Amino acid sequence: MLIKMCGYCGKSFSTKDKRKRFCDRSCATSWRNEQRKETYPELYKKMWTSELKKKQSNRLKKHFEEYPIPKRAPRETRSCPNCDTKFTVRKKNKKQFCSQKCSLDYRNKHYNSMHNPETVEKMRQTQKERYDSMTKEEILASNSQCRRIVSGVNTHYLAEWTRNNNGEISKRMKEYCKNNPDKTLNARLRRNQMTSLEKSVLHCLEIYQLPYLWNKYIKIGDTWKFPDFRITGTNILIECNGAYWHNKKETDERTKLFNENGYNVIMLKEKIIKQGTPTILNTLNSYSFFKDMIDTHSYSTLDNMEEINNE
């Protein structure tokens, strides 16, 4: 570090730069202004004469007469749906919440309530009542997904599962959407359909002849969770974690949440599931609570273990 004297105020300051002359930017600007006064005294005086000021004001008046400033939109008071506090906003502004914290809290509550089966049933009833009062054409116009499939416009927005192997939307899909626009495609096509990982785990549960519940909700506090498999009559949950969708941090938080609420969780990774049924069975038996459950409930043991190992 170098200690230098300021070229304008004379104060000492420490810097790493050898070329620095002033302690602050204000000192540098004031020094430059003084230098300009000395070098160009006539121009500096002309800049601040009364005649020049009048000319500038006349120019501005003419400019604003030709191009007037647009008037701002009037303000209005709104109430926050989360905390009921009032705040003023312009009418054009789409702001609904008083702060970002309130918006996040409200969305989290709404998301949790969406997983609640009671609220889902209420939403379905209201949707049915709304669709009963509308014609098929009006329903098709309101459902953007069905409208795109039937018309064939902006189909690149649609998901891959709406297309066939050739990458085109089939005639059968178009006819279904035209005749039944009130039914959402996502719920219709993906209802009661397991993934490939879940099917391989289900095969292992069928070997043990374990009674299970697939993708059924569990209430934990105010939230609703949907584990992949829950063995009936026990507190054992089995999760099939794909490598693309799940990471270590998320799985650890999920297991901690289930364990705090009295559930024993078995997290099966995609790498283990893809190795085959013997590795899945070995991992399931490695958990002590799963092995004790099989022994106490006297479920059927593996008589055909040799056939499975030969797969």
60 in a domain, yes or no? no
On whether both 104 and 121 belong to a single domain, the answer is: no
Stronger pLDDT, 187 or 15, i.e. the higher one: 15
User: What mean pLDDT comes out for the span 216-245?
Assistant: 84
Stronger pLDDT, 25 or 39, i.e. the higher one: 25
Give the pLDDT of residue 86. Answer: 92
User: What mean pLDDT comes out for the span 74-94?
Assistant: 89
User: What mean pLDDT comes out for the span 268-272?
Assistant: 91
On whether both 128 and 172 belong to a single domain, the answer is: yes
Give the pLDDT of residue 27. Answer: 92
In this predicted structure, the answer to whether residue 23 has a pLDDT above a threshold of 50 is yes
Give the pLDDT of residue 87. Answer: 92
Give the pLDDT of residue 300. Answer: 41
Query: Alpha-carbon Rg of the chain, whole angstroms?
Result: 35
Stronger pLDDT, 298 or 164, i.e. the higher one: 164
Q: What is the CATH number of the domain that holds 208?
A: 3.40.960.10
Helical ranges in the chain per DSSP H: 25-39, 41-46, 50-66, 100-115, 117-132, 136-142, 144-151, 171-179, 185-190, 196-208, 248-260, 270-274, 277-286, 288-297, 305-309
Confidence of residue 118 (pLDDT cuts 50, 70, 90): low
Give the pLDDT of residue 51. Answer: 66
On whether both 273 and 294 belong to a single domain, the answer is: yes
Rounded to two decimals, the pTM is: 0.41
In the listed set 145, 165, 190, which residue is the last one of a domain according to the structure? 190
In this predicted structure, the answer to whether residue 310 has a pLDDT above a threshold of 50 is no
In this predicted structure, the answer to whether residue 83 has a pLDDT above a threshold of 70 is yes
CB 299 within 8 A of CB 305: no
CB 86 within 8 A of CB 79: yes
In this predicted structure, the answer to whether residue 309 has a pLDDT above a threshold of 60 is no
Residue 269 CB: number of other CB atoms within 10 A?
17
On whether both 215 and 273 belong to a single domain, the answer is: yes
In whole numbers, what is the pLDDT of the chain averaged over residues?
A: 77
Percent of the chain with pLDDT over 90: 15
**Domain tally, the chain:** 4
On whether both 136 and 203 belong to a single domain, the answer is: no
On whether both 200 and 300 belong to a single domain, the answer is: yes
In the listed set 164, 190, 216, which residue is the last one of a domain according to the structure? 190
- Where is average pLDDT lowest: 19-28, 245-254, 268-277, 302-311? 302-311
- Where is average pLDDT lowest: 75-84, 153-162, 257-266? 153-162
Q: 3-state class of 165 per DSSP?
A: coil
64 in a domain, yes or no? no
Instruction: State both tokens at 37.
Output: 């006064």
> Which of 37-46, 94-103, 125-134, 148-157: highest mean pLDDT?
94-103
Confidence of residue 113 (pLDDT cuts 50, 70, 90): low
57 in a domain, yes or no? no
In this predicted structure, the answer to whether residue 307 has a pLDDT above a threshold of 60 is no
28 in a domain, yes or no? yes
Residues 6+ apart with CB under 8 A from 150: 140, 174, 177, 178
User: What mean pLDDT comes out for the span 133-151?
Assistant: 70
175 in a domain, yes or no? yes
On whether both 122 and 153 belong to a single domain, the answer is: yes
**Residue 85 is part of which domain span?**
78-111
246 in a domain, yes or no? yes
Stronger pLDDT, 241 or 166, i.e. the higher one: 241
In this predicted structure, the answer to whether residue 176 has a pLDDT above a threshold of 50 is yes
In this predicted structure, the answer to whether residue 22 has a pLDDT above a threshold of 80 is yes
In this predicted structure, the answer to whether residue 308 has a pLDDT above a threshold of 60 is no
On whether both 124 and 161 belong to a single domain, the answer is: yes
Confidence of residue 117 (pLDDT cuts 50, 70, 90): low
On whether both 219 and 184 belong to a single domain, the answer is: no
Give the pLDDT of residue 268. Answer: 92
Give the pLDDT of residue 305. Answer: 38
90 in a domain, yes or no? yes
User: What mean pLDDT comes out for the span 208-222?
Assistant: 82
284 in a domain, yes or no? yes
